Amino acid sequence: MHITPEQITAGILAGGEGRRLGGIDKGWYSLAGQSLIERTLERVRPQAARIVISANRSVARYRKLGYTVRGDDSDDHRGPLAGIATVLKAAATPYVLIVPVDTPMLPLDLGERLAAAMKPGTDLAVARTPERLHPLHALMRRSVLDDVQAALFSGVRRVTDWQNDTARAIVDWPSEERFTNVNSDEDAEALVERL
């Protein structure tokens, strides 16, 4: 089973509330003169044929980047799992690579390595580092949309709770570095030195 970038839509989750950054739209947070959304786009563009941005704020601003932008269907279903459902609905490819907008150093081989772990009976491949699982760095079949929507309607909100009940493969990375995210100004300052 060989999955190519042409079969993948990258879904960027940019709908977070950015509470620890003073409530700003995290995608537009500037890191060394470049916004997080621009940095994320640079890293996922070579890994997928199409890109969908899941955003609930600054929609017109995101659209100016030239990609499909979708908001969550309802206020009842918000959060990363709802964002995943939104991206799956908008995707026109059989696979979707989910990434959050706040990991500006995400691996350039993320899609390739997750795709290599997908088998005929696997619905999902998730990245893991020695410290933890990274449920928002995942490649999934577009066909899991019904499962995601059913989970949302039954009250599931945590992505890991849904993933635990899904046929998945785990792909290990040796270090946390590529998955470091920006949740505060302090995180950003530490990252700037490594960029």
The pair of structure tokens assigned to 21 is 């950054």
- Helix (H, G, I), strand (E, B), or coil: what is residue 138? strand
Which residues sit opposite 8 in a β-bridge? Answer: 95
Q: Any idea which residue has 């270090």 for tokens?
A: 175
Is the pLDDT reported for residue 161 higher than 60? yes
Phi, psi at 170, each rounded to 5°: -110, 135
Q: What is the pLDDT of residues 25-39, one digit of tens each?
A: 889 998 888 999 999
Residue 184, pLDDT score:
75
pLDDT band, very low/low/confident/very high, at 20 (cuts 50, 70, 90): low
Quote the DSSP letter at residue 183.
-
**Prediction pTM value:** 0.93
Q: What is the pLDDT of residues 72-113, one digit of tens each?
A: 766 555 789 999 999 999 999 999 999 999 999 999 999 999
Q: How many structural domains comprise the chain?
A: 1
> Could you give the CA distance from residue 189 to residue 53 in angstroms, rounded to a whole number?
26
> Could you give the CA distance from residue 112 to residue 98 in angstroms, rounded to a whole number?
13
Which residues sit opposite 139 in a β-bridge? Answer: 97, 125
Is the pLDDT reported for residue 187 higher than 80? no
The pair of structure tokens assigned to 98 is 């989910």
> Could you give the CA distance from residue 97 to residue 88 in angstroms, rounded to a whole number?
10
Q: Any idea which residue has 């890109």 for tokens?
A: 51
Distant-in-sequence, close-in-space partners of 117: CB < 8 Å, separation ≥ 6: 125, 169, 170, 171
Is the pLDDT reported for residue 17 higher than 90? no
pLDDT band, very low/low/confident/very high, at 189 (cuts 50, 70, 90): confident
Average pLDDT of the residues of the chain:
90
Query: How many alpha carbons fall within 13 Å on the CB side of residue 127?
Result: 26
Range(s) of the domain holding residue 119 = 5-192
Distant-in-sequence, close-in-space partners of 42: CB < 8 Å, separation ≥ 6: none
Q: What CATH code is carried by the domain that includes residue 156?
A: 3.90.550.10
